[in-house]
Amino acid sequence: MGDEMKCVARINGQKYEGKALLETSELIFRGLQSRVKISFAEMKSVAVEDGELRIKTKDRAFAFAVGAAAEKWRKKILHPKSRMEKLGVKAGTAVAVLGDAEAEFAMELREREAEIASATADSNVELVFWFVDEKSGLNGTRKVAQKLQGATGLWIVYPKGKKEITENDVISAGRKAGLNDVKVVGFSSTHTALKFVIPMESR
């Protein structure tokens, strides 16, 4: 989930009320009379003027009245964090990967010089990435949670926009396993990642 704000949008000169949502690689506006999705890649210019985030694409002009957040959003669009930065993976971070990770993610871990452990029970593991494709896969959440130690973070990565497994399903599974959900990021164009940790009082 990205930054979301109620605002008035001007789209090719027409005004609409709704909500603007700044995601990892796109800006989405949802109103009763207009819905648009603008990927960062198609933005030709991004500027801030009079509290508006003004965006131009090849054939359209947009202005989103998000006030003080406009400059922050402009910077996020022009200088987006890498996936590794969003997930908290630094050089030397010990990670464990469970499930079927995409090849590109595995390559990014190697390029980041992360230390990939063979098991989640390794006391040096700082982050666990668990890839779950459907709700039934969440049945193993408690088993995975029991292997976490101290401040180790568990990222559950799941398909987004699918009824077979929703954000509520993932959050519920994590909480039932005794974990706290602390962060959500857009993992890719097709997947979302939710981070869980052991509550402070239980470490």
pLDDT digits (tens, 9 = 90+) for 109-136: 999 999 998 766 566 799 999 999 999 9
Q: Tell me how crowded residue 52 is: count the other CB atoms within 10 A of its CB.
A: 19
The arithmetic mean of pLDDT across residues 138-164, rounded, is: 93
- Per the structure, the count of domains in the chain is 2
The CA-CA-CA angle for residues 54, 40, 37, to 5°, reads 75
61 and 135 fall within a common domain: no
Domain of residue 198 covers 83-202
Q: Which pLDDT value is given to residue 171? A: 97
Burial, 181: exposed, middle or buried (Cβ in 10 Å; 0-12, 13-18, 19+)?
middle
Taking the C-alpha atoms of residue 55 and residue 61, their distance in angstroms, rounded to an integer, is 6
94 and 177 fall within a common domain: yes
CATH code: domain of residue 191: 3.40.50.150
pLDDT category of residue 143 using cuts at 50, 70 and 90 = very high
Averaged pLDDT of the chain? 92
Q: Which pLDDT value is given to residue 188? A: 87
26 and 93 fall within a common domain: no
CATH code: domain of residue 52: 2.30.29.30
99 and 176 fall within a common domain: yes
Taking the C-alpha atoms of residue 59 and residue 81, their distance in angstroms, rounded to an integer, is 27
pLDDT category of residue 17 using cuts at 50, 70 and 90 = very high
pLDDT digits (tens, 9 = 90+) for 38-83: 999 999 999 999 999 999 999 999 999 999 999 999 999 999 888 9
Label the pairing between strands 52-56 and 180-186: unpaired
Kindly report each contact of residues 27-31 with a partner whose C-beta sits within 8 Å and lies 24 or more positions away, as own/partner. Answer: 27/55, 27/64, 27/73, 27/77, 29/62, 29/64
